[in-house]
Structure 1
Amino acid sequence: MQWYDKIFELIDLRSFSNLWYWLGLSIFWSTVGHWVLGVPHDMIRRAENRDDPHALHDVEALAAIYVRRLLFITRTAGVWLVAGLSFVLSGLGLLAVAYRVEFAQALLCLLLPATVIFLLTLRTARLIEAGDTHGPALLRRLRRHRMVVQIMGMVAIFLTAVFGMYQNMLIGVYG
């Protein structure tokens, strides 16, 4: 047995039957749903409940920092980000669809919805920059964005699970 056979035996590239893939997928969507534009959800809840007098100020400060940072990055390196992301998604799409590489299919099931979430986050950041920067309007915008992210996460996990079960059944029948 060669050394690379041992490595590929240890790292199972059949992603949809791998526990680590599903664990990583759940952690990814949990994290994305918890951090809304750089602001943790518990801080947003505290600012809404007015339990902590400084919570609203902290939420406004964190959101302003993240919005400025995100918009600066996209305005200065946006073309390169789009080009790199297009290259990666196109390559993964080709490997996943034309060559039926399961690892590429699994990554595509993770990165495609993440790209949509990134675009929605960018849209929300632009809306916040345009006017919803303080008080209840900011909290409402952050809550709405979190709800959309969570719905997209549920749909993405469901579709990934259905596709993963289909792949596992195909491998069981033909493998």
Structure 2
Amino acid sequence: MGVYKTVLELIDLRSFSNLWYWIMLGVMWSSASHWVLGVPWDMITKAQRQPGQAQTDALDLTRINIDRMLDIIETSGLWLMGFAAFMITGLGMLAFWYWVEFAQALLLLVAPLGILVMMSVRRARKVRLLLDQWPVVYIQLRNHRILVQLLGMISIFITSMFGMWQNMMIGAPF
């Protein structure tokens, strides 16, 4: 019993005080910022610097990813939105009605991703109409990346403030 207690003291299993949660949060927003509508940012910047084949490849990949995303949204978007709303509502109830820390942590990861999906669908519909004009597509992709980074910064800030508050309150006697 002593070894088990020692291991649990060394590895904190609460969500907001767990290093792996914060690593996952950083990796999630870093990946979201790198993959702009499914196209890697380094490919977009290479296409901007080197017209020709790199630009054609970036436009093709952008078209493929946008068509795929919008096809999924058009065929099953309503079902996906209903399921996502159900899951986020359930997490919200567990997080703030029953005050389950794991649900709070999960909600602070998942809810901003819902906003990101809505932003991406809206931008994909815009870009679909402009796929023959690379300079305009580049501006749209760059602006989308900036908005994703802004959303990520806001999300990380809110999550860190709530996580610090949660960690301070756990030890407080009530």
Q: Do the two structures share a fold, i.e. TM-score over 0.5?
A: yes
Provide the residue aligned with 1:113 in structure 2. Answer: 112
Provide the residue aligned with 1:39 in structure 2. Answer: 39
Q: CA RMSD in A?
A: 1.9
Q: State the distance in 1 between where 2:26 and 2:126 align.
A: 29
| 2:98 maps to amino acid | Y
Provide the residue aligned with 1:95 in structure 2. Answer: 94
Q: How does 1:1-175 map to 2 (within 5 A)?
A: 13-50=13-50, 53-174=52-173
Distance verdict in 2 for CA 1:15–1:101, change over 3 Å = same
Structure 2 counterpart SS, 1:142 = helix
| 2:28 maps to amino acid | F
Structure 1 stretches of 4+ moved >3 Å: 9-13
Residue 131 of structure 1 deviates from its aligned partner by 2.7
Structure 2 counterpart SS, 1:48 = helix
Residue 164 of structure 1 deviates from its aligned partner by 0.2
Structure 1 stretches lacking a partner, 5+ long = none
| 1:26 maps to amino acid | G
Structure 2 contact 63–131 (Cα < 8 Å) conserved: no
Q: Provide the aligned length of Structure 1 versus Structure 2.
A: 169
Same amino acid, percent of matched pairs: 47
TM-score, with length taken from structure 2: 0.91
| 1:68 maps to amino acid | D
Q: State the distance in 2 between where 1:162 and 1:29 align.
A: 17
Structure 2 contact 33–148 (Cα < 8 Å) conserved: yes
Could you report, residue by residue, the CA deviation over 1:100-158 in whole angstroms, capped at 9, with x for unpaired residues? 10100001111111100110000000101223543101111000000000011011001
Structure 2 counterpart SS, 1:17 = coil
